[in-house]
Structure 1
Amino acid sequence: MFSLFTKVKSISTTELANQNLNQVVLLDVRSPNEFKSGHIRQAKNVPLSKIAQYEGNRNELYVICQSGMRSKQAAKQLKKKGYDVTNIRGGMNQWSGKVIGGK
């Protein structure tokens, strides 16, 4: 049964920073241009518009965007597909760790 109120786990960017990022799958659902402007090294760019086609490891996924809104939408779609997914609240706006790319 489909529910508009699909509950998705979420963590803060601080909690994400405490994870071993080499051990998790981190999807960045921002546009390719946003991704190029600066992203977390381990992140894989899968824009929200393409998230429905995502086929990947069913282990725990972490999803991030700029503010947390698009990643929440993406997380709900992935959860419906059977993924164990966690949304990153606050997104890149709140991320204080290292980023690559950008100017």
Structure 2
Amino acid sequence: MFKLFQKTPVISTKDLADKLEQSITLLDVRTPEEYRRGHIAKAVNYPLNKINRYQGKEKEVYVICQSGMRSKQAAKILKQKGYEATNVQGGMNRWQGPTRGGK
């Protein structure tokens, strides 16, 4: 079966908060400046313009940005590379949990 038009899986920020209790890979695809202003502690900054170079060992990744649009693009690119990428719906705009600034 051809999977070109497969929908990107999504997760709510509330469900993401529960997932963070486990060992997951969360990629923040915002710019380094946006990331420094405030990010989820477990998130690794991997800007959208570099996502095609991503080479993580884990197959399952969660992707977040500010609103959910860039992370959706990033998830599509990661899926083409063979990752099981899940987009965080609403991004940091909807995130209610703690954030940290800086790198």
**Structure 1 length-normalised TM:** 0.91
- Residue 33 of structure 2 corresponds to 33
- Equivalent runs, 1:13-32 vs 2, <5 Å: 13-32=13-32
1:89 paired with 2:89, answer yes
Q: Structure 2: how far apart are the matches of 1:36 and 1:20?
A: 20
Give the direction of change, closer, same or farther, for the CA distance of 1:2–1:15 in structure 2 (3 Å limit): closer
Partner secondary structure for residue 67 of structure 1: coil
After TM superposition, which residue ranges in structure 1, 4 or more long, deviate above 2 angstroms? none
The letter of the residue matching 1:92 is: M
The Cα shift of 1:58 comes to 2.9
- Equivalent runs, 1:49-64 vs 2, <5 Å: 49-64=49-64
Q: 49-58 vs 28-37, which deviates more?
A: 49-58
Partner secondary structure for residue 62 of structure 1: strand
The letter of the residue matching 1:56 is: G
The Cα shift of 1:21 comes to 4.5
The Cα shift of 1:8 comes to 1.0
**Structure 2 length-normalised TM:** 0.91
Can you list the C-alpha shifts for 1:37-76, whole angstroms capped at 9, x where unaligned? 0000000000000000000023310000000000000000
CA contact (8 A) 1:13 1:88 kept: yes
Aligned length: 101
1:73 paired with 2:73, answer yes
The letter of the residue matching 2:56 is: G
Gaps of 5+ in 2: none
Q: Structure 2: how far apart are the matches of 1:52 and 1:2?
A: 19
CA RMSD for the aligned pairs? Answer: 1.5
Identity percentage of aligned residues:
55
- Residue 100 of structure 1 corresponds to 100
